[in-house]
Structure 1
């Protein structure tokens, strides 16, 4: 009998949870497919990207809406350090409202668009605004839907040489409400495309995180179910560097899949003390994402110990790539750079949000059946932008 997250398919279907469970569970295998895809397309990708990356003044904008935006927030700091270029992360939801505050019209610009459906009104509008306002503009579309509006835009563009679209493997266009395999696969593709990894290093790293995550999909089931039974009114995620964006995405998962019944917040490790720590109360779960960098790790452990010693939150947990004797620090046993730890950390956050959704009596595939919030955003009017 087919099972996902240790639930039978029949059980999941009865609770309208089968798509979300499958899409969380399938990720390690699809990550291996993403590696194959990027490897196959490597020559074409580099022919498109290398002339752009040779320009030290190139602006790279990572953009998307919701989870797709937060993925950009996660990767931008790492990419700035890795490729020594101006890398920014802006939501399409920010760009569309005030485009001149985000596009530098006198700069050669590469816009990297993350899109699950490729049909969100803001995703398409941001691309059109970039072409309208930036004379020397190029696009890399990372999408999960081969029949998207973005795909159509690329096919009809006057200058097709300025657009490269990479469509993620089949199954990544999540049918569940929340983005799970879609966002992790687009993030992985971005790392592989821009990361300057040789083929062996990339293969070894993807294999390692996939194997680790497959094991955690089993070993974390008991814990996430136990956490879901607790009466947490609030869940707070914190992390530094690329983990600040992952904390933001993790907080969104809880908010989405519990339809707002559980309040969530994210912050940086050092930022939490500057007011947001008031969010932590006696019905709170705090999750810290630890870095493998020894310098950053000192700040991680200081905050974790402080929160634990406060004895205020119901639960304080941490995820770490390093082994630790503390039962509240969950090791993923991964000595790779932080950019790779993103993936098992996402798995944990997705599993927890899924279990919290079920514990709230909701249907994870559609936690808002009355339609006020939708899988693909509706009700957005895009207005012409006429300023110069």
Structure 2
């Protein structure tokens, strides 16, 4: 039987194409809201969310800062809510970008309230998959706020965020990077994701090969992709399959001890020619440690320095920013997590039938400031 999670992984190419069209339709409204804000001297942009939604911010922040020449930071709502005076220690003009699949988690709602309470000049861009969520309702038509919805289909019904994550990240990139996701860029990304979908059988073979651990490595934005990938494994296998993430350079500084005979290592290889050297160095090193057959190096750049070292060469993305390269890489990670869940006899849509972990977080008390 086809699961919701499977459908939501498969739908991503179409969802990305639809998203690009939706943003084009709203381009005047979006630019009218954002242009005066980003023109403010000393603007600080904070990308926030909880869990996977926080990792979307981590994925984008380095690239957005580099491209804009402005201060862009990723701060999880779980850190912001527990330590708001630390996060908002400086009374800077701030654009708070909130990522939320459902928009109903207590931290997501509290984060925007705390920003309003502690900052003299704050605007809100809410990027969510749920038009009926509390976050979208609270900020719809609110002065200083704009709600950007991803396609309704990306409000994932499965336990783990898949199409919701990639679509929210793509939406933020399109409106904040200065390099909109037009039809051509959306087509390239979607084609690469379809290329990955066609290799599901290979990922199933790896998921059923008896691995006890999966390690994801990457640099810069791709480290955030590695973090999200590792979380997908933990979520969909209910913690039965151990996963780990680290930067390509940081892995040698102790975390490399996680390697065992039954370890699969996935390395996301940067498109940046300088960064790529470090990624390829760790590819060679872990191949020597665990065997080439237990390493999957995924990238897109066709330069001589990278092409021969890659196991998977994503088509037509060799010139894209790593924040966008990450999206089809994450599709591969989603399939690997799904197939690992099935191999363990679990139900991917609900790997925690007793409610130990919930799709929308429960049990959080928001204390008064």
On whether the aligned pair clears a TM of 0.5, the verdict is yes
| Alpha-carbon separation, structure 2, partners of 1:335 and 1:56 | 34
| Alpha-carbon separation, structure 2, partners of 1:187 and 1:272 | 26
Q: Does 1:215 align with 2:195?
A: yes
Q: RMSD across aligned C-alpha pairs, in angstroms?
A: 1.6
SS in 1 for 2:276: helix
Aligned equivalent of 1:274: 253
Q: Does 1:147 align with 2:129?
A: no
Which stretches in structure 1 are left out of the alignment for 5+ residues?
A: 1-10, 13-17
Equivalent residue in structure 1 for 2:287, among 289, 293, 308 = 308
Residue 265 of structure 1 and its aligned partner are, at CA, apart by: 1.1
| Alpha-carbon separation, structure 2, partners of 1:298 and 1:376 | 40
| Alpha-carbon separation, structure 1, partners of 2:96 and 2:301 | 35
SS in 2 for 1:355: helix
Q: Does 1:238 align with 2:217?
A: yes
CA contact (8 A) 1:115 1:123 kept: yes
Correspondence 1:1-388 to 2 at 5 A: 11-12=1-2, 18-155=3-140, 160-197=142-179, 202-218=182-198, 220-311=199-290, 315-323=294-302, 329-333=311-315, 334-337=317-320, 338-385=322-369
Deviations 1:61-83 (A, max 9, x none): 00000100001001000001011
Residue 268 of structure 1 and its aligned partner are, at CA, apart by: 0.7
Residue 203 of structure 1 and its aligned partner are, at CA, apart by: 2.2
Residue 312 of structure 1 and its aligned partner are, at CA, apart by: 6.5
| Alpha-carbon separation, structure 2, partners of 1:300 and 1:31 | 28
CA contact (8 A) 1:280 1:312 kept: no
Residue 325 of structure 1 and its aligned partner are, at CA, apart by: 6.7
SS in 2 for 1:57: coil
TM-score, with structure 2 as normaliser: 0.95
CA contact (8 A) 1:225 1:355 kept: yes
| Alpha-carbon separation, structure 1, partners of 2:328 and 2:255 | 26
Deviations 1:32-88 (A, max 9, x none): 111011111111111111111112310100000010000100100000101111100
Kindly report structure 1 stretches of 4+ aligned residues shifted beyond 4 Å: 323-328
TM-score, with structure 1 as normaliser: 0.91
SS in 1 for 2:365: coil
Aligned equivalent of 1:5: none
| Alpha-carbon separation, structure 1, partners of 2:255 and 2:325 | 25
Residue 339 of structure 1 and its aligned partner are, at CA, apart by: 2.5
Residue 298 of structure 1 and its aligned partner are, at CA, apart by: 0.7
SS in 1 for 2:153: coil
Residue 205 of structure 1 and its aligned partner are, at CA, apart by: 1.3
Residue 151 of structure 1 and its aligned partner are, at CA, apart by: 1.8
CA contact (8 A) 1:282 1:314 kept: no
SS in 2 for 1:285: strand
Deviations 1:330-372 (A, max 9, x none): 1112223222211110110001000000001100000000101
